[in-house]
C-alpha cells in the first residue's frame, strides 16, 4: 500500500532557518523541499507539486514573500499559502508591499511557542479547519491611526535617519517633516510630558509593534 505524504515547499533565504523548519515538518510526517528565493520556488512548483508553501517575507534580492504569495494566489489557487515571519505586520514594516491577500495564513515566529504548535497550524491549513490564521492583525490595528505617509516616515525614523535626511528622501521641506512627526507622536499617544525624547519613544514603539526588534 502506497503512503502519500503531504508536501510543504519552504521558501526561506536563510539556510539555517530553512533547515530547522524542514526538520520540524519532516519529523511530523511531511515531505519537504527548501527554495531560497521566490524565483527558485516558482521553478520548483511543477515538479514538487506542494500542498502547502511556507514563505518568509524578506527573501533578499528579488521579489519578497508578499510578492510571491500574491502571484501564487492567482496562478496556483489550490496550493495553501502560509507566511512565516519575524515581522508582526508586513504592511507597517515599511517594505513597500501590498496587503496580504485573503485566504493566506500569517504566522509570527515569536508567537509560536513550540514545534507542535507550528505543525498543528500547518495541519489545520491543509485540512481547511482554519485556513486563514492571521497573527498580523494586532500590529496592523496598533498602527491604523497612522497614514501610509506617516508609517513611511516612522520607518525611516526607526532606521536612524535625521529629520533633514528624511526630508531629503521625501523631497519635502524640513518643517513638513517636523509637522508630520508631531502628528505621529500625537497619534501614538506620546507627549513631551511622558517622554523627554519623543522620537526615541516613537521608534521603540514602532520596532516593538512591527516585530523588527524586541523592546
Q: Which residue has the cell 509570527?
A: 108
Look at residue 20 and tell me whether its pLDDT is greater than 70.
yes
Q: Is 68 helix (H, G, I), strand (E, B) or coil?
A: helix
What residues contact 204, with CB distance under 8 A and at least 6 apart? 215
Look at residue 133 and tell me whether its pLDDT is greater than 80.
no
| Residue 93 DSSP symbol | G
User: 65-107, pLDDT tens digit by residue?
Assistant: 888 998 998 999 889 999 888 776 666 555 544 567 778 888 8
Please tell me which of 18-22, 108-112, 185-189, 195-199 the model is most confident about, judged by mean pLDDT: 18-22
CA separation for the pair 215, 213 (Å, rounded): 6
Number of neighbouring beta carbons within 10 Å of residue 6: 18
Instruction: Assess contact for 139 and 88: CB atoms under 8 A.
Output: yes
Over its C-alpha atoms, the chain yields an Rg (Å, rounded) of 20
Please tell me which of 26-40, 53-67, 78-92, 175-189 the model is most confident about, judged by mean pLDDT: 26-40
Torsion over CA: 81, 85, 91, 96 (sign): negative
Look at residue 167 and tell me whether its pLDDT is greater than 80.
yes
CA separation for the pair 129, 124 (Å, rounded): 5
What average pLDDT does the segment 170-199 reach? 82
pLDDT band at 215 (very low <50, low <70, confident <90, very high): very low
Overall pTM surpassing 0.85 (yes/no) = no
Give CA angle at 179 (178, 183), nearest 5°.
115
Nearest to 14 by CA among 86, 118, 98: 86
- For the chain, list the domains and their CATH numbers: 7-137 (3.40.50.2300), 143-210 (1.10.10.10)
CA separation for the pair 164, 162 (Å, rounded): 5
Amino acid at each position: 500500500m502506497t503512503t502519500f505524504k503531504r508536501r510543504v515547499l519552504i521558501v526561506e533565504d536563510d539556510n539555517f532557518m530553512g533547515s530547522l523548519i524542514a526538520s520540524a515538518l519532516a519529523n511530523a510526517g511531511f515531505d519537504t523541499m527548501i527554495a531560497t528565493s521566490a524565483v527558485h520556488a516558482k521553478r520548483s512548483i511543477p515538479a514538487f507539486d506542494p500542498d502547502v508553501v511556507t514563505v518568509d517575507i524578506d527573501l533578499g534580492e528579488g521579489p519578497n514573500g508578499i510578492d510571491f504569495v500574491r502571484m501564487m494566489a492567482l496562478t496556483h489557487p489550490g496550493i495553501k499559502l502560509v507566511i512565516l515571519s519575524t515581522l508582526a505586520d508586513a504592511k507597517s514594516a515599511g517594505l513597500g508591499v501590498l496587503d496580504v491577500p485573503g485566504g493566506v495564513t500569517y504566522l509570527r515566529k515569536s508567537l509560536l511557542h513550540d514545534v507542535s504548535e507550528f505543525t498543528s497550524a500547518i495541519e489545520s491549513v491543509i485540512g481547511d479547519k482554519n485556513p486563514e490564521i492571521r497573527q498580523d492583525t494586532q500590529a496592523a490595528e496598533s498602527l491604523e491611526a497612522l497614514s501610509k505617509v506617516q508609517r513611511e516616515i516612522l520607518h525611516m525614523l526607526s532606521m536612524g535617519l535625521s529629520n533633514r535626511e528624511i526630508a531629503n528622501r521625501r523631497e519635502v521641506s524640513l518643517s513638513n517633516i517636523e509637522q508630520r512627526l508631531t502628528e505621529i507622536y500625537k497619534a501614538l499617544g506620546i507627549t513631551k510630558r511622558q517622554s523627554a525624547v519623543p522620537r526615541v519613544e516613537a521608534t521603540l514603539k514602532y520596532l516593538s509593534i512591527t516585530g523588527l526588534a524586541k523592546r
